[in-house]
Structure 1
Amino acid sequence: MTPEDTARRLIDANNYLTLATADRDGHPWASPVYFTPDGNDFYWVSRPTSRHSTNIAERPEVAIVIFNSQVPFLAGEAVYLTAHAEQVGVPELSRCLQIFRSRRSELAAFEPGELKLYRARVIDASVLINDGGPDIRVPITLCR
């Protein structure tokens, strides 16, 4: 299995990613968000007033980790991403909502209301390989 295969397996198997943001002064914040992947883009919905959303408005650079938290000690695998995040604007909203809704049937009729759609565009990606040795991160390309 290639590192890209490992990353795709982890992304496809998980509903939540951990989104790490920072405010304008650099104070960190991490939040789990339900996501839909689309190549190098990751979509989620959130209130614009939530801490991670206000952080993104001030400082759009984010980090993301996707992993299986149920594996035993020393068997971890993870996808690490750095990305530029933003609230999806009106011109792209309809198309991007279709992408967000496409992942799971329970999202088919989802309407954002007070929630807004956000997107993270990946800049760099790597995967933590479980090879029984020390943690090794391998750079990867995500696009399908």
Structure 2
Amino acid sequence: MNEQEITHRYLAESIISQHNAMTLGIVDGDGFPWLAPVYYVHKDFHFYFFSDPASRHASVLALTEGYPSVSASAAIYNEPDEYGHIQGLQMKGHLERVTGRGDRARVMTAFGLRFSFFARFLQEPRLLKSLQKNEIYQFTAREVWITDNSRLGYGHRICFHP
């Protein structure tokens, strides 16, 4: 990895770490685009989140017989009052369900460490029941477009491939 790639990776990771939610985009079974906001934990441009398997963004995986993943996109961004402070990522990659028990335990631990509200899901019966019907999904970014008006200038983006 060259110095420029390291700089781009650092900039992207700093944006990822500053935010808690991303907007996930898929094309549903009827061919229409669909967006869903999800809380995430992450590692090396792999984003993990909980979702109901019946949700539109998760159920699209059931339509891909023989293929464990689908193409997807995601965006992470801030909401500044000033255009000069716009910062975010637009990503394309793929979505898949996480199936390993150890992986589920690691993601649950990471959620507990990152989100203070997550402890309620493990303690309150109603929330625990809701959590148990959810699966864990992983969005893996393959192409990342970085916007940072304060560092890159207005209207300039850079592409990074993790």
Is there any run of 5+ residues in structure 1 with no aligned partner, and where?
Answer: none
Distance apart, 1:25 and its partner CA: 4.3
| Residue of structure 2 equivalent to 1:11 | 16
Q: How does 1:46-65 map to 2 (within 5 A)?
A: 46-58=51-63, 60-65=70-75
| Residue of structure 2 equivalent to 1:69 | 79
Is there any run of 5+ residues in structure 2 with no aligned partner, and where?
Answer: 1-6, 65-69, 123-127
Contact kept in structure 2, 1:36 and 1:100, CA below 8 Å: yes
| Residue of structure 2 equivalent to 1:41 | 46
Normalising by the residue count of structure 2, what TM-score does the alignment of the two structures yield?
A: 0.73
The Cα offsets for residues 43-69 of structure 1, whole Å up to 9 and x where unpaired, read as 010111111111244361110110001
Moved more, 51-60 or 37-46: 51-60
Distance apart, 1:74 and its partner CA: 4.7
Structure label with greater radius of gyration: 2
Contact kept in structure 1, 2:41 and 2:107, CA below 8 Å: no
Structure ranking higher in helix proportion: 2
Give 1:40's aligned amino acid: F
| Residue of structure 2 equivalent to 1:122 | 141
Q: Distance in 2 between matches of 1:32 and 1:12?
A: 17
Distance apart, 1:72 and its partner CA: 1.7
| Residue of structure 1 equivalent to 2:26 | 21
| Residue of structure 1 equivalent to 2:97 | 87
Normalising by the residue count of structure 1, what TM-score does the alignment of the two structures yield?
A: 0.80
Secondary structure of the 1:26 match is: coil
Distance apart, 1:37 and its partner CA: 1.2
Moved more, 94-103 or 56-65: 94-103
Whether 2:111 is the aligned partner of 1:97: answer: no
Distance apart, 1:141 and its partner CA: 4.8
Secondary structure of the 1:139 match is: strand
Give 1:89's aligned amino acid: T
Moved more, 88-97 or 49-58: 88-97
